[in-house]
Chain A
Amino acid sequence: MSNKARILIVDDDIDYVKSIRAILDSQEYTVDSAHNRESAMEKIKEVKPDLILLDIMMDRLDDGFTICYRLKHDSELKKIPILAISAIMEKTGFKFSPTTDGEYFEADDYVEKPVKPSDLLERIEKLLKG
């Protein structure tokens, strides 16, 4: 199933989306993208992705947090794995690590931008296998 998986990229930087798309295309995933909080929530409900690549700071400082919170507190959507990708390792006094900050930020995995293509693909495979 994993090679046919549907992946949603949520990021406000269209260049970043383009480069990630190039990596995902090599693996025959079906790729969708959304560029802000509102369109992300719509897209998620519409296409029911198998995995979400989630940026954190978009129009607002905490859009990624909000999306993540909504998904992980929705009985149906919470099973979709979230791989957070951000250019910022930590907000002042607030580390973006699912291991130390699971309480606030329940992403299934976290990776810092820029990401090595092989590292990204590995993490995606792992999350898709569950």
Chain B
Amino acid sequence: MRDICKTSEGRHKMTGEATILVIDDEEAMRDSCYQVLSKDGYRTETAEDGDSGLQKIRDIKPDLVLVDLKMPGMGGMELLEKTRDIDPNIVFVVITGYATIESAVDAMKRNAYDFLPKPFTPDQLRIVTRRGLERRKLTLESARLRQEKEKMRENFVTLVSHQLRSPLVSVQQYFEVMLGGFAGEVAGKQKEMIEEASKRIDALLNLVNDWLNMSRIETGKLIGKFEPVDLASVLSETMELLKPLAEDRKVALEMDLRDSLAVVEGNGESLKQAFTNLVSNGINYNIEGGTVTVSTKEEGGHLVAEVSDTGIGISQENLPFIFDEFFRVKTEETRGVTGSGLGLPIAKRIIEAHNGSIKVASEPGKGTTFSILLPKAE
């Protein structure tokens, strides 16, 4: 984006650097505007109709455009509309030959900043131009500040997570080195203890990751770009990813996906994260020899994915809290399960960011079923 005013140099620089484009089919009008404005120190260009004007806007990226509303071919109104895609911050001043209030008001509604009824004096032109450029300066400045603020917030999240992760990573790397035998033999009780310590560090690293994801969802950053997503392949990839965990826990994974499954509008990576959290939950809170089944069906305008396990289940009194941050069911059976307490809340937020919803049904001793409702892509 052009910077018309590096603030320290003030108004002088603004006059010197600002570029103005005059679009009018009357040669006399173009010439007189050109004379006045270039004499005042503005870089001034002219165009004789809408088409060449639009081309010039693309080429020279003006700060301000003076445009006649009524020209043969493309008029001022149409030009206003078309310029919005090039740079919405260009300031437009419309010149109205038939000084009717209606056409001026209409132009202002379409984002013109001001209007100048014909005939006008050089001083009137100067005043309108100066005000318009002042406006341009403020718009650019506020856009720049907004961007800077956004960037600072993003960097802050990245920095905090890096500062939290770095020491943990170094500790974990030492453990890996010791367990790999790169710092002498480790065996027996020592090895066992280092392995336990390493597991705890892993859990803490996961917690930091989850916390980071959580704050990204809050700032609307995690979800990423929306596009048509094939839910079946998201689910297959999720299951593939979790195979090692399932084998480790001796839990079987089953899939029942309908072939004709429609696509949803969303972000594949985020959805994969949501389903990964749900399925790994089903694996972790399962019993040896248990199963986690993922199935899908269509229901009206929605796709329904179900993740059900044959695990320990959730009691009625705990059920309302399972989507709360850091809530974890603490019983004899869950003691061996490590988790951050953020897996389900993250899944819920991702699903809701997709205009979907998530429901849970559970019976202690039998298992839990999560039903995820997602709107079909149009």
Residues of A within 8 A of B (CB): 13, 15-16, 19-20, 22-23, 25-26, 57, 61, 87-88, 91-93, 113-118
Partner among B161, B174, B182 whose Cβ is within 8 Å of the Cβ of A15: B174
Task: Tell me whether A113 and B173 are in contact (CB under 8 A).
Answer: yes
A92 to chain B, nearest CB (A): 4
Q: Which of B158, B169, B177 has the most CB of A within 10 A?
A: B169
Partner pick for A114 among B157, B158, B162, B169, CB 8 A cutoff: B169
CB of A57 within 8 A of CB of B162, answer: yes
Beta-carbon contact of B174 and A19 below 8 Å? yes
Does B100 touch A at the CB level, under 8 Å?
A: no
Q: Which residues of B have CB within 8 Å of A19?
A: 170, 173-174, 176-177
Q: Which residues of B contact A57 (CB under 8 A)?
A: 158-159, 162
B170 near A15 with CB under 8 A, answer yes
Report if A61-B155 is in contact (Cβ < 8 Å); known contacts: A23-B182, A117-B180, A118-B180: yes
CA distance A45 to B73 in the complex (A): 63
Contact status B221-A20, CB under 8 Å: no
Q: Check A20–B173 contact: CB distance below 8 A.
A: yes
Chain B residues within an 8 Å CB radius of A88: 158, 161-162, 165
Total count of chain B residues near the partner, CB < 8 A: 21
Nearest CB on B from A104, distance (A): 15
**Quick check: A114 and B154 within 8 Å, CB to CB?**
no
Please tell me which one of the listed residues B159, B165, B166, B177 contacts residue A23 in the complex, with CB atoms under 8 A apart. Answer: B177
Q: Which residues of B contact A (CB under 8 A)?
A: 154-155, 157-159, 161-162, 165-166, 169-170, 172-174, 176-177, 180, 182-183, 216, 221
Interface class of chain B by DSSP: helix
User: B221 to A93, Cβ gap below 8 A?
Assistant: yes
Q: Which one of B154, B161, B173, B180 contacts A93 once the chains associate, using CB atoms below 8 Å?
A: B154
User: Bound state CA distance, A92 and B212, in angstroms?
Assistant: 10
CB of B182 within 8 A of CB of A117, answer yes
Expressed in whole angstroms, the Cα–Cα distance for A93 and B162 within the complex equals 15
Taking the closest CB of chain B, its distance from the CB of A56, in whole angstroms, is: 9
Residue of A19, A25, A26, A117 ringed by the most chain B CB atoms within 10 A: A19
CA distance A13 to B169 in the complex (A): 10
What 15 new A-B contacts, CB under 8 Å, besides A87-B169, A91-B158, A113-B173? A16-B170, A16-B173, A19-B177, A22-B182, A23-B177, A23-B182, A61-B155, A61-B158, A87-B162, A87-B165, A88-B165, A92-B221, A113-B165, A117-B176, A117-B177
Give the distance in Å from the alpha carbon of A41 to the alpha carbon of B182 in the complex: 29
Residue of B nearest to A86 (CB): B162
Cβ–Cβ < 8 Å partners of A115 in chain B: 173, 176
Selected A-B contacts with CB under 8 Å, 19 pairs: A13-B166, A15-B170, A20-B173, A22-B183, A23-B182, A57-B159, A61-B155, A61-B159, A87-B162, A87-B165, A87-B169, A92-B157, A93-B221, A113-B169, A114-B169, A114-B176, A115-B173, A117-B176, A118-B180
Residues of chain B within 8 A (CB-CB) of A114 are 169, 172-173, 176
CB < 8 Å neighbour of B154 from A25, A92, A118: A92
Q: Which residues of B contact A92 (CB under 8 A)?
A: 154-155, 157-158, 216, 221
Minimal Cβ-Cβ distance residue in A for B175: A114
Shortest Cβ distance from B184 into A: residue: A22
